[in-house]
Amino acid sequence: MSEMKLAVIGAAGRMGQELIRTVQASNGAAVIAGAIERSGSNALGQDAGQLAGVGALGVKITDDPLDIIAKVDGVLDFTVPTVSAEIAGLAANARIVHVIGTTGFGPEHEAAIKAAARHATIIKAGNMSLGVNLLVAITRKVAQALDADFDIEVLEMHHKHKVDAPSGTALMLGEAAAEGRGVALAETSVRSRDGHTGARKRGDIGFATLRGGNVVGEHSVIFAAEGERVVLSHIATDRGIFARGAVKAALWGRGKGPGLFTMADVLGI
């Protein structure tokens, strides 16, 4: 099959630049055919490859997704929820692959993405790394095996620039724990604690968020009982793991037909 033509949305962002480097390293499986940034960004007009440090690619960064999306096989999108929901609609019109790594979605964005997946091939995951997706599967199993004598807490730390909390990954882990235990996360989750909170309620799934420095992403799921604790952890030290997962997802989605998929589908776990 010919190389897959991909556009990167948010091309000047931390993940956008990592995605450009990863596509360039894909040995011809995929190629950067478009790069989009927000209107007003000072990256507009720059060469996407030069900005990402891989040398000129002859692809100028523009703020016009319509024109680009008509010319590519897929888009890699690690931006903000409103943008991803809008791009999903464009991907649906163009019947192409849309890989969404963005986190922090509200119900209105989720609904728009679900509707777009009737025509686009959407692969959406709060974390695209193999290790974290394995951690999600293991968390579900451990939560299934342990009863509510084990208090579940999800702890995460990210760099100081991150704008949403808890992280998309922490929420994925909380969902997996709730599924394993056969409860709804919406009814059991405790997203923050402050002041005189009273004692912990049996069955709660707690979240704690740390922010600072340049931490790429660290997550632990703690199962704490009287006298013992099971701790499952993942530590990301390089954004490349998310970008490699995203490119793998795009290649996997090619020719798949419309639908809303996760990284677990891509990785077969």
By annotation, the residues acting in catalysis are: 158, 162
The structure tokens listed for 115 are 């509707």
- Give the count of residues interacting with ligand NAD (CB under 6 A): 25
In the complex, what is the shortest distance from the CB of residue 146 to ligand NAD, in angstroms, rounded to a whole number?
Answer: 27
In the complex, what is the shortest distance from the CB of residue 104 to ligand NAD, in angstroms, rounded to a whole number?
Answer: 6
Show contacts with ligand NAD in window 78-137 (CB under 6 A).
78-80, 83, 101-104, 125-128
Q: Is 38 in the site for ligand NAD (CB under 6 A)?
A: yes
CA atoms of 69 and 116, how far apart (whole Å): 14
Residues 6+ apart with CB under 8 A from 82: 109
Q: Is 266 in the site for ligand NAD (CB under 6 A)?
A: no
Of the listed pieces 13-21, 133-141, 183-191, 219-227, which binds ligand NAD according to CB under 6 A? 13-21
CA distances from 125 to 2, 99, 122 (A): 26, 8, 10
Return phi, psi of residue 74, to 5°: -165, 160
CA atoms of 190 and 96, how far apart (whole Å): 38
Amino acid at 153: E
Q: Is 7 in the site for ligand NAD (CB under 6 A)?
A: no
The structure tokens listed for 237 are 């030290």
Q: Cβ closer to ligand NAD: 160 or 202?
A: 160
What is the contact surface with ligand NAD in residues (CB under 6 A)?
9-10, 12-16, 36-38, 41, 78-80, 83, 101-104, 125-128, 168, 242
